[in-house]
Chains A and B, each alone.
Chain A
Amino acid sequence: MEGVHLSLSVFTRQSIFMTGHPRTPKRNRVQILPLLLAYTFCVLAPQIAFAQKNSADIPTVSNVVAIQGATIVLSPGNSIEEATVVFRNGVIEAVGKRATVPYDAQLIDGKGLTVYAGFIDALSQIGVPAPDNTTNNGQQQQVVDRSDPTFDQAGITPQQEVRSVLKPSDASVDAFRKLGFTVAHSVPQGRMLPGEGAIILLSGDNADAMVLSDEQSMFFQFAGARGVYPGTPMGIMAKFRRLYIESNRRIHLNEMYDENPAGMVRPPSDVVHEAFFPVISEKRPIFVFTQDALQVHRALALQNELKFNMVLTGLSEGFDTIDKVKKSGVPVALTLGVPAKPEWAAKIKADSLELILASFNDDTRTATFRDIEAEKRNLEAKQLISRKQYLDMPAQFAAVGVPFSFTSFGVKSTDIASNLREFTASGLSPDAALAALTTTPAGLLGLSASMGSVEVGKMANLVVSSGDVFDEKSFIKYVFVNGQKYEYEAAEKKEESGASRRRGQ
């Protein structure tokens, strides 16, 4: 937060208010109260408008915040009680039971509250609005040769930067921030190669303010552009291979040409292939989003063949691929999404569901019409068991020792809190869940030096919850992004859980 701008009028008013007190000449100590009363115009960042309790027209008076007497989870499995954390200008200055609170700190009573490191989303589209449909219609006027479309038409835009499409006022920013997310690895919207990912803060009034660092990654997903090449998964894979191999060839050509162009035809060049150069030469990672087990296998196949640096994300149905993923050593970011409860199950009490499971017989035969009811019970049980596999998945990855981050890609923000609770109810330890939201993604994205835990010197990205953040009864009271405070009401939390129960898939 920038220092307070003192206008000339303030000085003038100060002079008027101050009567006969000996003062140090130029720089006067400013009294907070008169300032609050007197100030009508303020040049402050509009992001304050999001914070519930701070009004935009009230000047900031302190760049230091101290949360006192709270339980502070320094990192998963490592917490201290009745402690204090102090951060100035967005950097943590002190943490501990006996941390010194500076005189100019804004004080927040942390009694009964728990402080966590701010959550990091390993792959998301936070801040990236959905593409405008009207422009697509405009594009439809233009005719294309579907066997040979332009890169744009085929959804191949790996050079696209998130910065240029980032919209700080997009609803997703606040929606995820109030869940505790402070930083995200956002990628553009698109088809198979939408563009480059950037690390963004969930705070800032323009794209440049939000972007912490771009050129972080290449994003790839198995989504073809309908009606043109490549339109199918095998087409996508073939196209990807071709782009990669041809880019590699061009790197060598460019090296030769740069060294000595004499007699050489100028190597072909375009932004699409150039986007692959850092992936090939500097091992910039490719984040691949997968929606089912087969896509995981296909991503691993491509990686095994072309040997690029890959991060697997999504992995719904990843339970069938755990061993292969573990063996590959590829870093993983699991989806925060879970399948909706089947319609019939939503109408039945929990203990009836237990009964259905108890009578499950893997060997059912339905010989005639007399066995129809038994068949139905069995199919119901199978469906419950199937759903359980999705809920158990993060716990299973933890159990085999594969560290993972979480990704919100493709998941509605209103579902995330309840989904996390379903994961923890299925055996994922809260520590592991927290790690997947903090330390592991920080490590994955190369941010460990400044984020992921509550430590002196790290960025003040914090989540302050009214209790255990994974508990249904808790709500998030504050979120700090780079020291910027966002305050939230408890009521929203209730509405949130109601909404996610109502919502289907």
Chain B
Amino acid sequence: MKIKLYITVLGLAFVCNTATSQDVLIRHATVLTITKGTMTNTDVLVRDGIISEIGTNLRAPRGIEEVDATGKFLMPGIVDAHSHIALSSVNEGSSPVTAEVTMEDVTDPYDIGIYRALAGGVTTSHTMHGSANVIGGQNETIKHRYGKTDPDDLRFLGAPRTIKFALGENPTRSHGRRGSQGGGGIVPATRMGVEQVLRSSFENGKRYMESWDAYEIDVKTNPRAVSPEYNDRMEIMADILRGEILVHCHSYRADEIAMLMRVLADFGVTKITFQHANEAFKVAPELAAFGASASVFADWWSYKMEVYYSTAYNAAILMRNGVLTSINSDSGELNRHLYHEAAKSQRYGGLTDDEALSMITINPAIQLGIQDRVGSIEIGKDADLALYSAHPLSVYAIPEQTFVDGKKYFDRTTDPDDMRIQVSPTASFSSYETQITGKDHFHGDNEILDFEELFGVVLETTTSTSTSN
């Protein structure tokens, strides 16, 4: 029946190639390696999803797909260190501490945002929990293998575990200052409260870890030893203390950035990436001394009080002061032109080409712990690549093809217009959707909206002084 043919066509369009790694030979490109300079008229050979050779006039293995990149620029796939695409839900905003939830559980491979970012050269995204909670959930690093319908197929296997913290106005508004809307508030309502939530969570995590460690020892000799209660939230706090989870903290003000560094130092946690960190430039020496890194906006400011006194020169100041810095999107719109966001660091701070591009490639890769796999064009790394019509730092550059593991997932000339994997059988297909624009960064109450909108009944809430668990 014809219908079956069409269904097969739809299905084949996306799922036919079950192999995720492929071979391809890209010829005559200007290759921006990021870490080892720029090479003109150069070929890059990809075998089984790995960059295997870089050079001129490479020999083409029989049967390999060739891409003529004459006049074009090849760059590593962009790594977006702060994203909320491809997630069914973002904020478990019911509690100030929700370390136990994870974005791994809610990856949504159907999101068209994955494709739209591919069309902007992005190949890896750090999909994060929202900023409603002081200690939010764990994040998930994904590769943009658009077309796969199994969430597991998007996972960046081997990427280190990371977790989301948030300081400042978002958690205090989500929890402490809800009282104004008729519900009760929970600590924190102030930056002081935020610090105490952090400290008590870490301390409780530490004691939990110690009691389980003690039990593990005890049970070896005493079969009647009783284990402590299993608490998944404290398990994660313990893992953070053990250094097994990288902390990424949404933060803005200089004082709260310094506060978190003190807390982490007190608990022996050494690795931290400050996200957004609009005022990080005010404590750049302290960040450098701690070894902390920053993942910032190119030029968002003034949408909240805590970003009022910030500057677009943030990234440049940090970089010049020795802080590992990346530029991220935190937006389903900005992530489509991160190459342009990075370029702003040339206007605001005079960064060189490689410095600007490193902000969206190798630097975020280091912050996510995946620098051995992606972030630059080097032999042995994953073939996550993007081809541009002009130098990516030019506003006129148009991304033309994007590869993940050597497989092409975006092609400007051959892709049809409608790239949705999932078509609703009932929704009106001509309905206008509100666009995401530059105003998107004012998260406001949208931060906790998905949590409150998801299911039916509302229950009245009250004040509680519990600070953790």
Contacts and interface: CB of A to CB of B under 8 A. Distances in A.
A242 B462 contact: no
B184 A143 contact: yes
Nearest to A358: B2
Interface in A223-272: 223-235, 237-238, 241-242, 245-246, 249, 253, 256, 260, 263-265, 267-268
Contacts of B429: 379-380, 382-383
Contact of B151 (A294, A317, A392): A294
A387 B425 contact: yes
Contact of A232 (B7, B10, B106, B183): B106
B461 A233 contact: no
Interface stretch (B86-94, B241-249, B257-265, B331-339): B86-94
A233 B106 contact: yes
Interface stretch (A25-33, A102-110, A203-211, A339-347): A339-347
Given A358-B2, A383-B423, A226 B466 contact: no
B105 interface: yes
Interface string B1-24: 011101101100100000000000
Contact of B461 (A144, A191, A354): A144
Contacts of B418: 364, 378-379, 382
Nearest to B100: A238
Contacts of A392: 3-4, 7
Interface stretch (B223-231, B296-304, B434-442): B223-231
Interface stretch (A85-93, A146-154, A279-287): A146-154
Contacts of A387: 425-426
A293 B150 CA distance: 9
Given A229-B94, A232-B89, A301-B105, A140 B459 contact: yes
B53 interface: no
Given A136-B457, A147-B186, A233 B89 contact: yes
Given A246-B230, A357-B2, A357-B3, A232 B450 contact: yes
Contact of B10 (A342, A364, A385): A385
A234 B105 contact: yes
Contacts of B232: 238, 241-242, 245
Contacts of A144: 459-462
A419 interface: no
B417 interface: yes
A245 B232 CA distance: 9
A364 B89 contact: no
Contact of A147 (B89, B103, B426, B464): B464
A504 to B, nearest CB: 9
Nearest to B468: A147
B458 interface: yes
A365 interface: yes
Contact of B459 (A227, A235, A382, A383): A227
Of the four ranges (under 10, 10 to 19, 20 to 34, 35 or more), the interface on chain A belongs to 35 or more
Nearest to B151: A297
B162 to A, nearest CB: 15
B95 interface: yes
A15 interface: no
A86 to B, nearest CB: 44
Nearest to A323: B150
Interface string A127-156: 000000000100111111111110001000
B426 A505 contact: yes
Of the four ranges (under 10, 10 to 19, 20 to 34, 35 or more), the interface on chain B belongs to 35 or more
B173 to A, nearest CB: 15
B403 to A, nearest CB: 21
Given A242-B232, A246-B229, A385-B3, A147 B96 contact: yes
Nearest to B96: A147
B424 A141 contact: no
Contacts, number: 211
B454 interface: yes
Most buried by A among B91, B226, B458: B226
Most buried by B among A226, A237, A256, A388: A226
Contacts of A343: 428
B425 A235 contact: no
B101 interface: yes
Contacts of B466: 145, 147-148
A228 B457 CA distance: 10
A339 B105 contact: no
Contacts of B95: 146-148, 229
A495 interface: no
B346 interface: no
Interface string B103-122: 10110101000000000000
A53 interface: no
Nearest to A267: B226
Nearest to A256: B224
Contacts of A229: 92, 94-95, 98
Contacts of B94: 146-147, 227-231, 235
A234 B226 contact: no
B462 A234 contact: no
B425 A383 contact: yes
A237 B106 CA distance: 9
Contact of B452 (A231, A242, A354): A231
B417 A364 contact: yes
A389 B424 CA distance: 11
Given A140-B460, A357-B2, A379-B418, A235 B92 contact: yes
A298 B105 contact: yes
B445 to A, nearest CB: 14
B92 A231 contact: yes
B3 A388 contact: yes
Contacts of A340: 426
Contacts of A388: 3, 7
Given A144-B460, A232-B91, A379-B429, 20 more contacts: A142-B460, A143-B184, A143-B461, A225-B457, A226-B457, A228-B461, A229-B98, A232-B454, A234-B137, A235-B94, A238-B232, A256-B224, A265-B226, A357-B6, A358-B2, A362-B10, A382-B429, A383-B423, A386-B422, A386-B423
The 5 residue pairs across chains A and B that have the minimum distance between CB atoms: A147-B95, A143-B462, A387-B425, A229-B94, A339-B425
